[in-house]
Amino acid sequence: MPARTGRPPKISRADIVSAAHRLIEAEGTESLTMRRLAREVGTTPMALYHHVHDKEELLLLLLDDYAAAMSRPVLPDEPGERMAAAAIAMHEALAGVPWIVDVLRADDLLSVNALWYPETIIDAAVRAGLPLERAVDAYRIIWHYTAGEITARAAALRRREEGRPTYRRQVFAALDAEALPRLAEVGGRWEELTARDTYGEGLRALVAGLLLKGLATGGPSVKRSGPDDQMD
């Protein structure tokens, strides 16, 4: 036994995280505040800060737990479909976490238990014939798209809940049809059109485009390393 020194801890990181889970479960995302959480754990707010660096780190820990519990989809063999399937799984996992928006600013999804997603996407991209560097690029691009979609989705949800006058109505009302004919053409249908879920379509388009020419950078086509090519 290594015999620890110092004042013995009253609470642990795990205590905090599980209390946070309980709190969210019982009273919703909004009530997860450091003060409220401290009460739940039975300490002072500042005591928490000895176990987590800040609230964002706490949320990342929660996300990590969440990611660990996620089931993984069966993956198709065809590389493009495989990339898409993994990305869609990632998207679904994230879309279910209400406080996700506060965490998306943190890092490119590097919660340890979520690493399966980038791993799988990058691997599939390599299988599709991209060199490793390009595969990493492809993953990041997919990640940006996914994170952006999730953010917009959360924002739309929030807006719907708040029921504020949407601002868009106002915009479309005073729209100059000469200068902006297409938007004028869409007109009141904007709300309806933008309520639809287009993540899948966008993702498939993105994957197709990424694999089209090996993510060409302006130069000629790029070397392939796999036998799976079927485009061109």
Interface with a second copy includes 141 (CB under 8 A)?
Answer: yes
- Distance separating alpha carbons of residues 124 and 89, to the nearest angstrom: 14
Closest Cα to residue 228, out of 92, 121, 127? 127
Least distance from DNA to the Cβ atom of residue 4, Å? 6
Residue 202 carries which side chain, given as an amino acid letter?
G
Interface with a second copy includes 143 (CB under 8 A)?
Answer: yes
Residue 110 carries which side chain, given as an amino acid letter?
L
Between residues 158 and 189, which has the closer beta carbon with respect to DNA? 158
Residues 103-122 that bind a second copy (CB under 8 A): 104-108, 110, 112, 115-116, 118-119, 122
| CB 68, CB 123: distance < 8 Å | no
Find which of a second copy, DNA, none residue 19 binds, CB within 5 to 8 Å per kind. Answer: none
The DSSP output letter for 73 is: P
Between residues 49 and 116, which has the closer beta carbon with respect to DNA? 49
Integer angstrom CA distances of residue 7 from 4, 45, 52, 90, 209? 9, 18, 18, 42, 58
- Distance separating alpha carbons of residues 119 and 221, to the nearest angstrom: 25
Q: How many residues does the chain have?
A: 232
Least distance from DNA to the Cβ atom of residue 30, Å? 8
Find which of a second copy, DNA, none residue 6 binds, CB within 5 to 8 Å per kind. Answer: DNA
CB atoms within 10 A of CB 77: 9
| Tokens encoding 222 | 């790029």
Exactly one of 28, 180, 188, 229 binds a second copy (CB under 8 A); which one?
A: 180
Find which of a second copy, DNA, none residue 69 binds, CB within 5 to 8 Å per kind. Answer: none
Residues near a second copy (CB under 8 A): 101, 104-108, 110, 112, 115-116, 118-119, 122-123, 126, 132-133, 135-137, 140-141, 143-149, 151-152, 154-155, 158-159, 166-168, 171, 174-175, 179-183, 185-186, 190, 193-194, 196, 198, 201-202, 204-210, 212, 215-217
